[in-house]
């Protein structure tokens, strides 16, 4: 790692100006200590390795899920945290049973197709219906002939098909399932996007509850072949499945460092500990959650106590509908502590960040002043700043109640891990130790800087400001589909 003086290069002038405006003088020393501690003693990689070997997957509601919750709790206690607690919540646990998918021109000619059930599909389903190609599975794909898919099975591409019209946006698999259901489909087959026959799992429910139709994923090659055959004639599919669903208890794990002078304000930093059950969830979200655990270790090892309270949270149930983070926010709304949350940082598959991201432009000055110091310690950190908003991770419930959210920016998944998202190839061999160390050290600096800042310009939005923010970021439609748009227009 090459060190250089903060204001040595003209390209860093903007960052230098920001440092004098927002950064406390002592942060350079604190960040240097963080940098040295993580480079020398990080346990993110080794603890994730141990967890994947001894626990396996971390499906919420399963015995493995319970083991993961206890593992995180014990790890935080071993780091010296006195304030560690479980936050229990009730969740509808879903797990896979049996599945058979066949396709053919008629009942007698149907052949098996490799598939995986998408979560929250019915407990039992047996349909044998015509398949209708619904393209990208967006509203516009149905509007030309709204009755076309009624009482049939929709075939939908997970992303955006080649040669789609410019500007076509995609939706989450759960939203595409909800649209198909709204137009009367009795089943949905979703085509995965990466090549190689990789199957994707994940929820097909926008609510985290059971959906009324069977939903399955098939590989890209099989799916594109079906599209070609459908262009030439009719096809039928027999989808038969059994699954389990029932109410169980799950637990978020929370460790707290009380703020030095403003303990009533807090910064929440979290990542989801749970994973799907096809593999060990090393990338999704081992690299994120175990980086947050090591951020906690780093704060304890250096006895860091910023002016605001910091909560390190391991969320469960993210994969089944953000259930753990929704439970956290529901509790904060109930006890009226939500307004105390000044920032929420979320680490979901974050790896080797080169900068920081946030939902609010108001954080540029603070974030880049923090990043300028990080860059002075290691020039591989580029101090990228991104402002924008998206859905489908544990920041969402916080964002929907006006809390500024953020995390890393400019990184990338290691070892071509992208195609293994939610797939049976998401295992520890994909993890990069250096990437996790970088997540921990640069994110620990961001966390400390926010929690210790004299002023956080990013304010907690009012309900109306939140509404306008979501509309501005084109999030109204997916939230309406999910039934989470609470405003009456």
Q: Where are the domains of the chain?
A: 10-83+258-481, 94-244
* DSSP secondary structure string for all residues of 357-380: EES-GGGHHHHHHHHHHHHHH-TT
Domains 10-83+258-481 and 94-244 share a fold: no
- pLDDT of residue 2 exceeding 70: no
Cis peptide before 285 (omega within 30 of 0): yes
Sequence-ordered list of residues with C-beta below 8 angstroms from that of 5, at least 6 positions apart, any chain: 376
Four-way CATH pick for 10-83+258-481: 3.30.2130.10, 3.40.50.970, 3.40.50.1820, 3.40.630.10: 3.40.630.10
Q: Find residue 357's DSSP bridge partners.
A: 386, 407
Judging by DSSP bridges, how do beta strands 236-257 and 187-191 pair with one another? unpaired
Q: Is residue 209 very low, low, confident or very high in pLDDT (cuts 50, 70, 90)?
A: confident
| Reported pTM | 0.86
Per-residue pLDDT of 290-323, as tens digits, reads 999 999 999 999 999 999 999 999 999 999 889 9
> Which segments of 405-448 are extended strands (E)?
405-409
Start-end of H helices in 55-144: 63-78, 139-143
Res. 403: pLDDT tops 70 = yes
Q: How confident is the model at residue 89 (pLDDT cuts 50, 70, 90)?
A: very high
Highest mean pLDDT among 200-209, 246-255, 403-412: 403-412
Q: Which two tokens stand for residue 46?
A: 């080794």
**Per-residue confidence at 394, pLDDT binned at 50, 70, 90?**
very high
Measured distance CA(256)–CA(74) in Å, rounded: 14
Band of pLDDT at residue 21, cut at 50, 70 and 90:
low
pLDDT of residue 9: 31
- Is the pLDDT assigned to residue 429 strictly greater than 70? yes
Number of Cβ atoms within 10 Å of the Cβ of 465? 12
User: Residue 263: helix, strand or coil by DSSP?
Assistant: strand
Average pLDDT over residues 129-134: 98
Continuous H helices in 216-308: 220-232, 287-301
Query: Which parts of 85-236 fold into alpha helices (H)?
Result: 139-143, 173-182, 220-232
Is 27's pLDDT higher than 60?
yes
CB 60 within 8 A of CB 323: yes
Note the residue count of the chain: 489
Residue 75 predicted with pLDDT over 80:
yes
Tokens of 54: 């001894």
pLDDT at residue 246 is higher than 80: yes
Report the pLDDT value the prediction gives residue 424, as an integer from 0 to 100. Answer: 86
**What percent of the chain is predicted at pLDDT more than 70?**
96
Question: What does the pLDDT average to over 371-393?
Answer: 97
- Where residue 11 falls among pLDDT bands split at 50, 70, 90? very low
Q: Where is pLDDT greater, at 350 or 61?
A: 350
Dump pLDDT digits (tens) for 169-182.
999 999 999 999 99
Helix extents (H) in 194-264: 220-232
CATH 3.30.70.141 is right for the domain spanning 94-244: no
Instruction: Look at the block and give the residue holding tokens 């997957």.
Output: 57
Give me the pLDDT at residue 93, please: 78
Please check the confidence at residue 20 and state whether its pLDDT lies above 50.
no
Q: Is the pLDDT of residue 187 over 60?
A: yes
Q: What is the mean pLDDT of residues 359-372?
A: 97
For residues 64 and 250, the answer to whether their CB atoms sit within 8 Å is no
SS3 81: coil
Average pLDDT of span 457-470: 97
361 pLDDT exceeds 70? yes
Q: Beta 115-117 vs 215-218: how paired, if at all?
A: antiparallel
Whether the per-residue pLDDT at 1 is higher than 60: the answer is: no
Which residues, other chains included, contact 102 with Cβ-Cβ below 8 Å and sequence gap of 6+? 110, 111, 112, 113, 237, 238
Distances 451 to 51, 73, 259, 263, 394 between C-alpha atoms, Å: 30, 23, 8, 10, 20
Strands 355-358 and 405-409: antiparallel
The SS3 call for residue 177 is helix
Mean pLDDT of the chain: 94
Q: How far is CA 12 from CA 87, 267, 357, 375, 384, in A?
A: 43, 28, 19, 9, 12
Q: Quick check: 359 and 387 in contact, CB under 8 A?
A: yes
């Amino acid at each position: 790692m090459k060190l250089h003086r903060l204001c040595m290069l003209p390209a860093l002038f903007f960052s230098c100006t920001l440092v004098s405006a927002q950064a406390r003088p002592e942060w350079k020393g604190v960040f240097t200590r963080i940098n040295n501690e993580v480079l020398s003693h990080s346990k993110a990689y080794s603890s994730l390795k141990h967890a994947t070997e001894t626990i396996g997957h971390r499906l919420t509601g399963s015995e493995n899920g319970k083991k993961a919750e206890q593992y995180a709790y014990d790890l935080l206690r071993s780091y010296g945290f006195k304030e560690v607690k479980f936050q229990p919540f009730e969740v509808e646990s879903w797990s896979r049973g049996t599945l058979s998918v066949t396709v053919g021109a008629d009942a007698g000619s149907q052949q098996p197709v490799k598939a995986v059930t998408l979560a929250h599909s019915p407990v039992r389903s047996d349909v044998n219906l015509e398949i209708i190609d619904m393209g990208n599975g967006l509203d516009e794909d149905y509007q030309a002939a709204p009755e076309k898919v009624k009482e049939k099975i929709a075939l939908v591409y997970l992303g955006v098909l080649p040669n789609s019209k410019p500007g076509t946006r995609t939706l989450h698999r759960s939203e595409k399932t909800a649209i198909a259901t709204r137009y009367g489909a009795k089943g949905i087959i979703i085509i995965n996007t990466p090549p190689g026959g990789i199957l994707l799992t994940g929820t097909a429910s926008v609510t985290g509850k059971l959906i009324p139709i069977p939903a399955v994923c098939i590989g890209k090659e099989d799916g594109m072949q079906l599209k070609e055959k459908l262009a030439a004639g009719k096809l039928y599919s027999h989808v038969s499945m059994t699954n389990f669903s029932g109410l169980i208890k799950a637990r978020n794990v929370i460790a707290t460092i009380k703020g030095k002078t403003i303990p009533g304000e807090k910064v929440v930093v979290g990542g989801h500990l749970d994973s799907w059950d096809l593999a060990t969830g090393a990338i999704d979200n081992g690299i994120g959650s175990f980086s947050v655990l090591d951020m906690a270790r780093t704060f304890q090892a250096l006895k860091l106590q910023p002016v605001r309270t910091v909560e390190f949270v391991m969320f469960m149930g993210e994969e089944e509908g953000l259930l753990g983070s929704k439970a956290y926010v529901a509790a904060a709304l109930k006890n009226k502590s939500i307004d105390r949350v000044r920032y929420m940082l979320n680490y979901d598959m974050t790896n080797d960040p080169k900068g920081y991201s946030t939902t609010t432009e108001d954080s540029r000055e603070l974030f880049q002043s923090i990043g300028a110091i990080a860059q002075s310690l290691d020039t591989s950190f580029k101090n990228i700043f991104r402002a924008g908003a998206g859905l489908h991770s544990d920041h969402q419930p916080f964002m929907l109640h006006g809390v500024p959210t953020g995390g890393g920016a400019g990184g990338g998944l290691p070892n071509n891990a992208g195609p293994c998202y939610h797939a049976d190839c998401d295992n520890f061999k994909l993890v990069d130790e250096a990437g996790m160390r970088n997540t921990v050290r640069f994110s620990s600096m961001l966390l400390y800087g926010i929690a210790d800042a004299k002023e956080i310009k990013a304010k907690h939005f009012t309900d109306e400001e939140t509404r306008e923010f979501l509309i501005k970021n084109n999030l109204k439609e997916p939230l309406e589909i999910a039934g989470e748009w609470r405003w009456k227009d």
